[in-house]
Amino acid sequence: MTDNKKEKFPKVQGGGSLILAWQIKNKTVLVVGGGEVAVGRILNLLDADAKVVVVCPSSGLSAEVRHRIDHNQVTYLDRAFEPSDLETLPPSNGPPDMVLTAVDDPAASTQIWKLCKQHRIPANIADVPPECDFYFGSVHRDGPLQIMVSTNGKGPRLAASIRKFIGKQLPPGVGDAIERIGELRAKLRKVAPDPEEGPKRMRWMIKVSDAYTWDDMSTLSDEDMDNILTFYRPNNVPDLDVLKAMRGGKTPEDIDVFDGSFGFSVGA
Contact 29, 22 (CB under 8 A): no
Run of H or E including 31: strand 28-32
Q: At what angle do helices 222-229 and 174-191 cross, to 10 degrees?
A: 50
Distance CA 131, CA 118 (A): 13
Catalytic hit among 3, 70, 104, 127: 127
Distance CA 126, CA 93 (A): 25
Residue type, 194: D
Distance CA 30, CA 17 (A): 23
How does DSSP assign 150-215, residue by residue?
--TTS-HHHHHHHHHHHHHHSPTTHHHHHHHHHHHHHHHHHHS--GGGHHHHHHHHHHHHHHS-HH
Phi/psi for 101 (5° steps) reads -110, 140
Distance CA 64, CA 179 (A): 29
Specify whether 127 is catalytic: yes
Active-site residues, by number, are: 127
